[in-house]
A and B are shown apart, each in its own frame.
Chain A
Amino acid sequence: MNNATFTGKLVRLVVMDLENDPQLLAGWDQDSEFQRFFNDEAARRNSPAQIRKFFQDELACMYSFMIERLEDGRKIGVIDLSGVNWTVGNAWVGIGIGEREMWGRGYGTDAMRVILRFAFEELNLRRVTLSVFGFNQRGIASYQKVGFRHEGAIPGALLRAGERHDLVFMGILRREWEALQQNGQ
């Protein structure tokens, strides 16, 4: 199988197995900390059937992948491009590493590098955008590492456990990404 486009140094991106992956995603949702990093909505428990229905409905308008470790083929997270505006060439990226023992080990950063390559070299996008919660410093550091730049924040837009946190916006332009590739990143 030639999927070099979707293969990084630590992970590869694979399309979702709608039969089995919703069970995995439902299991990750049991970890409310994961949900609170991944989503600004109130944490909840979705059944595999609800998750399957969501992806069946949405897959046509998003590019969604499971993140699979190269070393053992284990699926550890999910990443997607959505909300594509073809006029301006922008998409929003979202990522979550569901297996908490995999946090902070570079898998998310590698997956982000892979999806940016797909976004710029195959989809011909001009920029990729994300929002991240101010308390997710590990995520922000990872996004900066692959070239995302801070574009501002809505102060205190998130209320979690009685404390207000900023909603941070970041973006990367294709020319910035290309410059990083020339510099060997």
Chain B
Amino acid sequence: MNLTTQLFESTNLKLDFYDPDKDASEESSFTYDLNYAWLMSTNGIARPLTAYEIKKMREEQLKRADETGTKFYFAVRRKADNKFLGLVMFPWISWTHRTAAFRVLIGGEDRSGEILAEVLRMALRYAFEELNLYSADCTTGEFQPEYLEACRRAGMQERVRQREMVFRGGRLWDQVMMVMSQDDWRKQQREE
């Protein structure tokens, strides 16, 4: 990893700017997958959203990102055909503590473990190589097994398990916080 490393590209994917006019309608179709919608929600309640709602929400988030400099949003696109696959979001960063909660949202038929792991690694690389964070975390659970497994494959560790904190599919699930520190990231880079 050095200054010539392309932060916004991986083998199959790229991080791009989010275009509310074009991407919101595609994202709306993703929200019928309530795993995607749950990761979008701020109150833990997953539901399909209209393109109008998503466009308005993303425009507000991008405006806040411009104003504050503490939030970062990327569209994830397939390099081969520029297809919109989802987002990488850093909606909350503490510069005091150099920590962040981030989210990776991948929708539609592209929501495979391989794609998730590839996006997660790009998100973590951005967190540590560019934002210089001490640690970064994301929230999921066994109701999203492919997401949880992708986090583990990317080198993140389960650190917090909040019992019965999520209601999905007619039952309660534990909410799991997966965490990686910059030290662990550097160790992983040296070993690869």
Contact = CB atoms under 8 A, between A and B. Distances in A.
Contact of A154 (B45, B160, B163): B160
Interface stretch (A70-78, A82-90, A106-114): A82-90
A60 interface: no
Given A41-B96, A87-B45, A164 B163 contact: no
B97 A157 contact: yes
A164 B134 contact: yes
Contacts of A155: 135, 159, 179, 181
B39 to A, nearest CB: 15
A88 B141 CA distance: 14
Given A87-B45, A154-B137, A159-B96, A173 B160 contact: no
Interface string B150-163: 00000000111111
Looking at B44, B45, B98, the one whose CB has the most chain A CB atoms below 10 A away is: B44
Nearest to B94: A40
B115 interface: no
A42 B96 contact: yes
Interface of B: 43-45, 94, 96-99, 134-135, 137, 158-167, 172, 177, 179, 181
Looking at A83, A126, A155, the one whose CB has the most chain B CB atoms below 10 A away is: A155
B99 to A, nearest CB: 5
Contact of A158 (B97, B164, B172): B97
B161 A88 contact: no
* Interface of B, helix, strand, loop or mixed by DSSP: strand
29 contacts: A40-B94, A41-B94, A85-B44, A87-B44, A87-B167, A88-B44, A88-B164, A88-B165, A88-B166, A88-B172, A127-B163, A127-B165, A129-B165, A152-B162, A154-B99, A154-B135, A154-B137, A154-B177, A154-B179, A155-B179, A156-B134, A156-B181, A157-B135, A159-B98, A159-B134, A164-B134, A169-B162, A171-B162, A171-B163
A42 B70 CA distance: 15
Nearest to A174: B164
Interface of A: 40-42, 83, 85, 87-88, 90, 126-127, 129, 149, 151-159, 164, 169, 171, 173
Nearest to B42: A83
Nearest to B97: A159
B53 to A, nearest CB: 18
Given A154-B179, A159-B97, A126 B164 contact: yes
Contacts of A88: 44, 164-167, 172
Looking at A88, A164, A169, A171, the one whose CB has the most chain B CB atoms below 10 A away is: A88
A83 B181 CA distance: 27
Contact of B160 (A126, A127, A149, A169): A169
Given A85-B45, A155-B159, A156-B135, A171 B165 contact: yes
Contact of B97 (A40, A151, A169, A171): A40
Given A152-B161, A171-B165, 12 more contacts: A40-B96, A41-B94, A42-B96, A151-B163, A154-B99, A154-B137, A154-B159, A155-B159, A155-B181, A159-B98, A169-B177, A171-B162
A86 B161 CA distance: 20
Contacts of B97: 40, 157-159
